[in-house]
Amino acid sequence: MKITLPKNSRLTSKDFMFGVATASFQIEGGVEHRLPCIWDTFCRTEGAIADKSNGDIACDHYHLWQQDIEMISSLGIDAYRLSISWGRVMNQDGSPNQTGIAFYTNFLDALKAKNIKAFVTLYHWDLPQHLEDEGGWLNRQTAYKFKEYTELVVKAFGDRVYSYATLNEPFCSAYLGYEIGIHAPGIKGREFGKKAAHHLLLAHGLAMEVLTNLSPNTLNGIVLNFTPCYPNTDNLADITAAKYADDYFNQWYIKPIFDAQYPEILSTLPTAEHPDIVEGDLSIIAHPVDFLGVNYYTRAIYKADNKEVFSQVMLDDVPLTDMGWEVYPQGFTDLLVDLNEKYDLPPVYITENGAAMPDEITDNVVIDKDRVSYYNTHLNAVNQAIEKGVDIQGYFAWSLMDNFEWAEGYLKRFGIVYVDYQSQKRTIKASGYAYRDFIKLRK
Ligand code: FCB
């Protein structure tokens, strides 16, 4: 059970960066020290979370952060990706919350002391509830509030941070949160998704301006998720359907950033579904980024559908993770090569990749063979993309430890470290050791 890559590949060299990732709401707890956010509210909505849980305690990282840093450091990684909880560092009136700032300052200082680079995401979905009460991402003003929040963060943390990402996966915030309503704030309606997406992208562009001005020495960019779309057959109708799905779910969030325009399918959408674009918005959104963060988990297959344009096809007899997601490493290589062909990309970092598996712990040991195999095949897929000319500089495993997996609550485990939520005991899984050993062997 090892991770093995071809000798002399980029990934076996010391200048390729390896890390692990987490997000504030998923691990922190410490809820009494911050403003309520949309996920606190959503967790209290009947039927929203599979195990009816919430983020009040999560991994109690707010209190256990010192021991967590020791654990992170024991993995031998170069970098740690975390997110800042907006409502922990900024009060409702816009003033700084010094307790929250001190929490992250201490954490970032401790990381620095261990020589671990901090990759900070400003927004990993925990919008303060008072902003949702004003319309959330459907309200253009939220983008300007995000700009103020970015200023506050950058001024507070300065050179403790190596890299800032504005948003994590705006597709999920917009589509899952405001179109199909399976994520917070749980709003449903085709007329909302693209409007929310536009304000998120505008927020990204406005924050990029702040980062470029106030934090020119950090690596500043955005994290996008992609589920590459494959046609069910090579019939033209299926190919067209898959292309449409790709534009709707994937290109929608990247094309404005690199090409300053939305995909052409915009013109096929009913006017009610159009984003509210103000003149100049697209040039704000297309502010140059220093890096692109790419999150990849699986692919999707589409066929033509007379009513809905496209519909998803589920394959039988393919390996699935505990999320029901197909294990398809080839999709990772295809995606990276395709993005590199379509856009003039800056350096790419894989900011999330990993798998939920039905882990069992016996005598303090977790033998998660399937997860080790997932990492092995997916790291090799990244290597293939590098060999095909994509400039990839780093890789972050999702996730450091098991945590609150959004609508699935604590039922799905993505960690390379096992968390017993009763005792809050952490146990490094076989995948964690395999990752550590692989990282250690680099030359
Ligand atoms: C991504 C999220 C991350 C985690 C993984 C499994 O969409 O960014 O928080 O939940 O999926």
pLDDT band with cut points at 50, 70 and 90 for residue 159:
confident
DSSP lists the bridge partners of residue 90 as 96
Domain membership of residue 324 as a residue range: 10-440
- Ligand 1 geometric centre to CA of 293 (Å): 13
Mean pLDDT of 108-120: 98
Give the pLDDT confidence of 415-433 residue by residue, as tens digits.
Answer: 999 999 999 999 999 999 9
Neighbours of 274 (CB within 10 A): 15
Calpha distance 395→3 (Å, rounded): 14
Please tell me the predicted confidence (pLDDT) of residue 1: 85
Residue with token string 């040991």: 365
Residue 365 falls inside a structural domain: yes
Please tell me the predicted confidence (pLDDT) of residue 315: 96
Evaluate if pTM is beyond 0.85. yes
Mean pLDDT across the chain: 98
Q: Which of the residues 132, 169, 179, 405 is marked catalytic? A: 169
What residues contact 47, with CB distance under 8 A and at least 6 apart?
Answer: none
- CA 410 vs CA 31, 49, 73, 216, 402: distances in Å: 17, 9, 25, 38, 8
Query: What is the bridge-based pairing of β-strands 219-226 and 163-168?
Result: parallel
Tokens for 48?
A: 């929203």
Mean pLDDT of 265-288: 98
Residue 383 falls inside a structural domain: yes
Residue 5 falls inside a structural domain: no
Residue 2 falls inside a structural domain: no
**Structural domain count of the chain:** 1
pLDDT band with cut points at 50, 70 and 90 for residue 182:
very high
Residue 210 falls inside a structural domain: yes
Indicate if the alpha-carbon torsion angle 234, 386, 330, 248 is positive or negative.
negative
Calpha distance 352→443 (Å, rounded): 24
- Give ligand 1 pocket residues (Cβ under 6 A): 23, 26, 168-169, 172, 225, 295, 352, 398, 405-406, 414
Calpha distance 133→139 (Å, rounded): 10
String of DSSP letters for 201-258:
HHHHHHHHHHHHHH-TTSEEEEEEEE--EEESSSSHHHHHHHHHHHIIIIIHHHHHHH
CATH code for the domain of 86: 3.20.20.80
- Ligand 1 geometric centre to CA of 416 (Å): 14
Q: Which amino acid is at 152?
A: L
Please tell me the predicted confidence (pLDDT) of residue 404: 99
Residue 3 falls inside a structural domain: no
Tokens for 265?
A: 């399918």
Neighbours of 442 (CB within 10 A): 15
Q: Could you give the percent of the chain with pLDDT greater than 90? A: 98
Please tell me the predicted confidence (pLDDT) of residue 375: 98
> Does 32 qualify as catalytic in the annotation?
no
Residue 1 falls inside a structural domain: no
Of 109, 198, 227, the closest CA to residue 160 belongs to 109
Calpha distance 333→70 (Å, rounded): 33
- Ligand 1 geometric centre to CA of 280 (Å): 31
Calpha distance 242→299 (Å, rounded): 11
Residue 149 falls inside a structural domain: yes
- CA 397 vs CA 230, 290, 375, 376, 421: distances in Å: 25, 21, 8, 12, 21
- Cis bond upstream, residue 270 (ω within 30): no
Q: Whose CA is nearest to atom 4 of ligand 1?
A: 405
DSSP lists the bridge partners of residue 224 as 294
- Cis bond upstream, residue 399 (ω within 30): yes
- CA 379 vs CA 110, 389, 438: distances in Å: 29, 16, 11
Q: Is 357 exposed, middle or buried (0-12, 13-18, 19+ CB in 10 A)?
A: buried
Please tell me the predicted confidence (pLDDT) of residue 433: 98
Ligand 1 atom, smallest distance to 225 CA = 7
Given ligand 1 and candidates 405, 412, 416, which is best to mutate, with the most ligand atoms within 8 Å of its CB?
A: 405
> Does 352 qualify as catalytic in the annotation?
yes
Calpha distance 134→188 (Å, rounded): 17
